[in-house]
Amino acid sequence: MRRACAWTWASSTPPRASVASELAEEDAYAVDGPAQAPDLLELRDAMSLVWRILLLWLGVLALFVLAGWAT
């Protein structure tokens, strides 16, 4: 089953707006660094916190398993 596409071979111009905007974002990132993407920094910090909490809970679970195995 084929998906519908906004651009077909019969069309004279391919969609270039999205490519141009992505190139502009990459250029802005290269010039200013991650300051242009504060949402990504917040996401990175949130994921870091999630991993820390997950590791903490895995440590607590391991202690319960070891305590149950020792008795």
In the structure encoding, which two tokens stand for residue 61, read together?
A: 């679970």
> In which element (H, E) is residue 12 found?
none
Query: Which pTM does this prediction carry?
Result: 0.45
Please list the helix, strand and coil fractions of the chain in percent, rounded to the nearest 5, in that order.
75, 0, 25
- Domain range list for the chain: 17-70
Q: What is the pLDDT along the chain (71 residues), one digit of tens a residue?
A: 455 555 555 556 555 666 667 777 777 666 665 555 677 788 888 999 999 999 999 999 999 999 988 77
For residue 24, give the DSSP letter.
Answer: H
In the structure encoding, which two tokens stand for residue 8, read together?
A: 């077909």
